[in-house]
Chain A
């Protein structure tokens, strides 16, 4: 089995469209709710933030941690997911 999760694969497989923020790898219920509370209710908004941070890994991870309290693994998963999505579709 590859090291990426099912969620990651599903997300990266197609344009994200209107997928909720919880569709991102590493973002579950709790984190998703927190992100939504902060206004990031859709995955594309988080994508926006990722792009605004110029796709910088460290900055994005820091931002994620600050906004929703993601731990290192969750940060990693989310960043990887978005990065791969961008590589594929952007």
Chain B
């Protein structure tokens, strides 16, 4: 159920099955809808759970890896159908993008696709039964069978288009296998290296950098295998995985030693990995292929998802190919690829962290969702418990409040009744024992009662007076009034009033009654002098007392609240001001950046258009950047921005110019533009070239250099010339380069170089392979001469070595002063 075979209608109907009504499926919308379909499928599969067997899971992992490239391939292919663009170079045998273009031009042949489908299904089934190697081979064979012609020229109309479909699919296989292979590689470096070395020896003669060579080499497995291997390579051309392609070729060539049925599948992967290395014209050794992984990855990075899918596969595909590679595997992989894909698409190549990240991300995606679900489930039961808890807390709160209220009341009452303690202890008096002895009980009682009532009365009076009760204008009572009151209380008191008063005077301690004479504050020593009686312990009515208490408390609380409020408001204000500050600063920086952008673009425009002045008046810049209604608001920020630029921005100079007769403060952008916008350069070698990672001797005079640039990232008009320049510089000691062609449309950054002889190309290979250029690892492989000439017919006539400085020379035979055919020095390697 690979989506590669879907016709537009099928895609449309499949999408509708998921309840989604797509718009028209055209060539530009197809990839998007394919992605959507895959997402639906993956969701569906997730819902169905792990319905498939364990075999599926293992195979699905590999399949998904395959599927991801499928998707990408499909998309790429579709998007590659650019109406306007036409790759000028025909598909070289290992060139995916070039081969794709003509293939796409042929259009999708649905019928053929349909034909392929059953065939492939068959193959799949066969694969299921056959041992892994066989199955894989068959798979490859399927694709290869389609491309029976040995060269992906546009002439082979049918086969490319046929092969395209299956090729895509099988591409993944080889791809994933590649990944596995490389994985295995890294793990079994020794065995691999040994093997690759052996392979190298055997393959050298094979000339395995071309399809037809593979055919010639012959496969032990028979013509089928040959074809398959051929096709493999063919197929690979359609995909952006030339290295795989190469692997295919070498894999075929390897048949002799490789086709030993290897028991475990990992071996298969490992076998393929090294095999692929020794591919047709790409005699990268094991180290080279290892390094290939890196550049491949970077290439993939630029390719986007492709890269991710592969790297993802790298991680958890352990060369587990199974019968369900395509179908089942499609879905599970997509979440992993889909979600991280967008993330890294825009980014530049991620190398090894990406696979882990991808995989981990995919796992993480599932985990948080589950956690969320769990959380939501837990929420249900928790809520009922919290309900009762809520009531409980409310109850406790009210209980506490009531308690404190009671406490307060009791306290108040206590205060109020503190002085009534005297009531109960009427027997105890402050008059000393002498008092007791003087009078008998009845008299004592009477006196005491009198005193008590007097005291109480006076207290009430004083209390009322204190409370502001108008009934008692005076706090103290005159003696007459006291006498009146006491007599009214009890007739017996009459006799004892004076006695009581005298005792009060004699009392050593305060009895709660203050006696004052006629003249205030005079100590009273005699009864006769007493004229005013006053209570020192005023007893206020409860309401008054309560009120006073409340007032006190309230005032205190209010004071505290006011203080707190004040502090809090101060804090808020400070925070607000600080936030405002920050906001303004941010706006200012934003404005500054925009000003810089404006000035920079203006200066760039000035570069091209000499009529413009290289400076801009400040008010004009302001008016163009700030909205009309915002100008007043932004004035302060604008001023700050201006100030900032004049003080902190070194690339802008503030000066005064005369514009149309008026003086203006202007800004001039003074950063000189980068003359060569590429800080390109050679940055050393990644690995030493030895027997293991490069062919022992150079094979052909033609080289294909990969990963020199990224076509998406190049800006400027003559960057290809700069690339050529760089290559020539790097091989400046080599006077044998006669033709260079930068394939501008190649996603891999390919540059084709032809040298005078094999020795020269060997030297160039040595110089270039494995070097870092502009942060990318450059790899080189050999190409067949006839292929090269087919692709670059103009190179056939080149025989004059190119020099770095004379890049713009026409590559013809008529460049006399360049004639330098130095004898080939040391041969390639060894």
A18 within 8 A of B: no
**Chain B positions 54-112 with a Cβ under 8 Å from a chain A Cβ:** 75, 79, 82-85
Instruction: Please tell me if B712 contacts chain A, counting CB pairs below 8 Å.
Output: yes
**With a CB–CB cut-off of 8 A, which chain B residues contact A36?**
84
Q: Report the separation of the CA atoms of residues A59 and B20 in the bound assembly, to the nearest whole angstrom.
A: 12
Shortest Cβ gap from A68 to chain B (Å): 9
Contacting pair A66 B31 (CB below 8 A): yes
Complex contact B712–A69 (CB within 8 A): yes
Asked if residues B36 and A52 are in contact (CB atoms below 8 Å), the reply is: no
Known: A59-B36, A69-B304. Is A49-B342 also a contact (CB below 8 A)? no
Contact B342 A72 (CB under 8 A): yes
Quick one: CB contact mask for B12-53 with A, threshold 8 Å, 1 for yes?
000000000111101011011101100000000000000000
Question: Which A residues touch B345, using CB under 8 A?
Answer: 65, 69, 71
User: Is there an interface contact between B26 and A52, defined as CB atoms closer than 8 Å?
Assistant: yes
Which B residues touch A29, using CB under 8 A? Answer: 715
Q: Counting CB contacts under 8 A, is B155 at the interface? A: no
Contacts of B31 in A (CB 8 A): 63, 66
How close is A62's CB to chain B, nearest CB, in angstroms? Answer: 5
CB pair A63–B84 under 8 Å, yes or no, is no
Given the complex, which residues of B lie within 8 Å of A49, measured CB to CB? Answer: 28-29
Residues 335-392 of B at the A interface (beta carbon under 8 Å): 342, 345-346
Q: How far is the CA of A73 from the CA of B587 in the complex (A)?
A: 20
The answer to whether B79 and A66 touch across the interface, beta carbons within 8 angstroms, is: yes
Interface size class of B (residues with CB under 8 A): 20 to 34
User: What are the residues of chain A within 8 A of B715 when measuring CB–CB?
Assistant: 29-30
- Shortest B598–chain A CB gap in Å is 10
A39 within 8 A of B: yes
Contacting residues, chain A, for B587 (C-beta < 8 A): 1
When chains A and B are docked, how far (Å) is the Cα of A59 from the Cα of B36?
A: 8
Q: Mark A2-20, 1 if CB is under 8 A from B, else 0.
A: 0000000000000000000
B526 within 8 A of A: no
Contact indicator B712/A63 (Cβ below 8 Å): no
Indicate if the CB atoms of A53 and B85 lie closer than 8 Å.
no
Inter-subunit contact A38/B627 (CB<8 Å): no
A71-B343 Cα distance, complex, nearest whole Å: 8
- Is B29 a contact of A53 with CB atoms below 8 Å? yes
Closest to A64 in B: B32
Within A27-42, which residues are at the interface with B (CB < 8 Å)? 29-30, 34, 36-39, 41
Whose C-beta in chain B lies nearest to the C-beta of A58?
B36
Instruction: Report the minimal beta-carbon distance from B258 to chain A, rounded to whole angstroms.
Output: 37
Q: Decide if A62 touches B35 in the complex (CB within 8 Å).
A: yes
Contact yes or no, A54 B627, CB < 8 A: no
Within 8 Å CB of A1, what residues of B? 587, 626-627, 630
* Nearest A residue to B715, CB-CB: A30
Q: Which of B36, B82, B304, B627 contacts A39 (CB 8 A)?
A: B82
List residues of chain B with CB within 8 A of the CB of A47: none
**Chain B contacts for A39, CB-based, 8 A:** 82-85
B79/A67 in contact, CB under 8 A? yes
**Once A and B bind, how many residue pairs between them come within 8 Å at the CB atom?**
65
- Chain B residue nearest to A33 in the complex (CB): B715
In chain B, residues 298-317, which have Cβ atoms closer than 8 Å to a Cβ of chain A? 304
How many whole Å from A45's CB to the nearest CB in chain B?
9
Query: What CA separation (Å) do A86 and B304 show in the bound complex?
Result: 30
Kindly provide the distance from the CB of B95 to the nearest chain A CB, expressed in whole angstroms: 18
- Neighbouring B residues of A59 by C-beta, 8 Å: 29, 32-33, 36
Q: Please, which residues of chain A bring their CB within 8 A of the CB of B626?
A: 1
Q: Tell whether, in the assembled complex, residue A52 and residue B82 are in contact, meaning their CB atoms are under 8 Å apart.
A: no
Inter-subunit contact A71/B29 (CB<8 Å) = no
Closest Cβ–Cβ distance, residue B335 to chain A (whole Å) = 15
* A52-B28, A52-B29 given; A38·B82 CB < 8 A: yes
Query: What is the CA–CA distance of A41 and B304 in the complex, to the nearest angstrom?
Result: 23
Q: Which residue of chain B has the shortest Cβ distance to A39 in the bound complex?
A: B83
Asked if A70 is at the interface of the complex by the 8 Å CB criterion, the answer is yes
Q: Which residue of A lies closest to B75 (CB)?
A: A66
Min C-beta distance of A10 to chain B, whole Å: 12
Q: Report the minimal beta-carbon distance from B357 to chain A, rounded to whole angstroms.
A: 17
Shortest CB distance A52–B (Å): 5
Which of B24, B342, B587 counts the most A-chain CB atoms under 10 A from its CB? B342
Contacts of B304 in A (CB 8 A): 66, 69
**Are A52 and B24 within 8 A (Cβ)?**
yes
Q: How distant is the Cα of A61 from the Cα of B531 in the complex, in angstroms?
A: 104
With contacts A59-B36, A71-B346 taken as known, whether A37 is within 8 angstroms of B29 at the C-beta atoms is no
Q: A70 vs B31: C-alpha distance in the bound complex, in angstroms?
A: 16
A 58-90 to B, binary, CB cutoff 8 A, 1 in contact else 0: 010011011101111000000000000000000
Q: Which residues of B contact A71 (CB under 8 A)?
A: 345-346
Question: Which of chain B's residues has its CB closest to A63's CB?
Answer: B32
B22 partner residues in chain A, CB cutoff 8 A: 54
B residues less than 8 Å from A38 (CB atoms): 79, 82, 85
Residues of A within 8 A of B32 (CB): 53, 59, 62-63, 66
User: CA–CA, A70 to B345, complex, Å?
Assistant: 8
A53 proximity list for chain B (CB < 8 A): 23, 29, 32
Given contacts A1-B627, A49-B28, A63-B32, contact A37 B23 (CB under 8 A): no
A69 to B31, CA, bound (A): 14
B736 to chain A, nearest CB (A): 35
Q: In the bound complex, how far is the Cα of B82 from the Cα of A71, in angstroms?
A: 21
Residue numbers in B under 8 Å from A37 (CB-CB): 82, 84-85
B79 contact set on A, CB distance < 8 A: 38, 66-67
Which residues of chain A come closer than 8 Å to B627, judged between CB atoms?
A: 1
Instruction: Look across to chain B and name the residue whose beta carbon is closest to the beta carbon of A41.
Output: B84
Contacting residue for A63 out of B28, B82, B85, CB 8 A: B28
Whole-angstrom CA separation of A72 from B346 in the bound complex: 9
CA distance A29 to B715 in the complex (A): 10
State A41–B36 Cα separation when bound (angstroms). 26
Residue of B nearest to A59 (CB): B32
A70: chain B residues at CB < 8 Å are: 346
Query: How far is B345's CA from A69's CA once the two chains are assembled, in angstroms?
Result: 7
In the complex, A49→B30 CA distance in Å?
11
Question: How many Å lie between the Cα of A32 and that of B35 in the bound state?
Answer: 23
| A42 vs chain B, min Cβ distance (A) | 12
CB neighbours of B36 from chain A (8 A): 59, 62
Using Cβ atoms and an 8 Å threshold, which residues of chain A touch B85? Answer: 37-39
Q: Tell me if B23 and A54 are in contact (CB < 8 A).
A: yes
- In the docked arrangement, what's the CA distance between A53 and B82, Å? 18
Neighbouring B residues of A63 by C-beta, 8 Å: 28-29, 31-32
A38 to B24, CA, bound (A): 19
Question: Nearest-CB distance from B109 to chain A (Å)?
Answer: 22
Can you name the residue of chain A whose Cβ is closest to the Cβ of B713? A30
Task: Give A25 Cβ to nearest chain B Cβ, in Å.
Answer: 15
Q: Report the nearest A residue to B84, measured CB to CB.
A: A39
Q: Which residue of A lies closest to B346 (CB)?
A: A71
Which B residues are in CB contact (< 8 Å) with A66? 31-32, 75, 79, 304
Instruction: Check if B342 sits within 8 Å of A52, measured CB to CB.
Output: no
A38, B84: Cα distance in complex, Å: 7
Residues of chain A within 8 A of B26, CB atoms compared = 52
Which residues of chain A have C-beta atoms less than 8 A from B83's C-beta?
39
B84 contact set on A, CB distance < 8 A: 36-37, 39, 41
Q: Which 6 residue pairs are nearest across A and B when measured between Cβ atoms?
A: A71-B346, A39-B83, A54-B23, A63-B32, A62-B32, A59-B32
8 examples of A-B residue contacts, CB within 8 angstroms: A1-B627, A37-B82, A39-B82, A54-B22, A59-B29, A63-B32, A65-B342, A66-B32
Q: What would 16 more interface pairs be, CB under 8 Å, given A39-B84, A63-B31, A66-B304? A: A29-B715, A30-B715, A38-B82, A39-B83, A52-B23, A52-B26, A54-B21, A59-B29, A59-B32, A59-B33, A66-B32, A66-B79, A69-B346, A70-B346, A71-B346, A72-B346
Residues of B participating in the A interface, judged by any CB pair closer than 8 Å:
21-24, 26, 28-29, 31-33, 35-36, 75, 79, 82-85, 304, 342, 345-346, 587, 626-627, 630, 712, 715
